[in-house]
């Protein structure tokens, strides 16, 4: 039986804790009142060849309303989605779409080349492509 690396287990625990916190503090969940008012867009992160790709679901958000910052292996995606309906006297019968300020903090799974990041907003998705750092041969 192969031994699992302790760091793999810690990484799995980290992702599970993030998933639990996301579900607990999701604005559609009653506990959202305990959390900060920013909503968290749904996000996928995957590897393709020499790249890490982050796909963020943010329909209705304009490019000018998005900022991406990177500090070490932590990426922060921040922005704002404005409700296009601004009529006075409107009474919602159902409201599930998140508006206002959003933020998503992601830990990148490996070292990257910070100067080689590309972002593209396409059909309601933000695609962030980051070059993985080339591994040095020993």
Q: Please give the Cα distance from 138 to 136 (Å, whole number).
A: 6
Decide if pLDDT at 32 tops 50.
no
* Of 119 and 5, the one with more pLDDT: 119
In which element (H, E) is residue 24 found?
helix 6-24
% of the chain residues with pLDDT over 90: 52
Res 38: pLDDT: 92
- Of 38, 105, 20, the C-alpha closest to 69 is 105
**What global pTM score does this model have?**
0.70
DSSP 8-state secondary structure symbol assigned to residue 110: S
Q: Greater confidence, 4 or 42?
A: 42
Closest CA to 85 of 102, 52, 60, 64: 60
Task: Specify the DSSP element, H or E, that contains 15.
Answer: helix 6-24
Sequence-separated (6 or more) residues with CB below 8 Å from residue 115: none
**Residue 131 in 3-state DSSP?**
strand
Cα separation, 88 vs 93, in Å, equals 15
């Amino acid at each position: 039986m192969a031994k699992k690396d302790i760091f793999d287990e810690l990484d799995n625990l980290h992702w599970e804790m993030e998933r639990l916190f996301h579900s607990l503090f999701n604005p559609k969940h009653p506990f959202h009142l305990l959390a900060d008012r920013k909503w968290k867009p749904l996000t996928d992160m995957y590897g393709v060849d020499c790249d890490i790709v982050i796909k963020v679901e943010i329909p209705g958000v304009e490019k000018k309303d998005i900022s991406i910052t990177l500090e070490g292996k932590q990426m922060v995606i921040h922005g704002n989605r404005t409700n296009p309906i601004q009529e006075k006297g409107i009474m919602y019968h159902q409201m599930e779409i998140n508006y206002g300020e959003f933020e998503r903090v992601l830990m990148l799974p490996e070292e990257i080349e910070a100067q080689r990041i590309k972002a593209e907003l396409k059909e309601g998705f933000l695609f962030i492509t980051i070059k993985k750092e080339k591994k040095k041969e020993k």
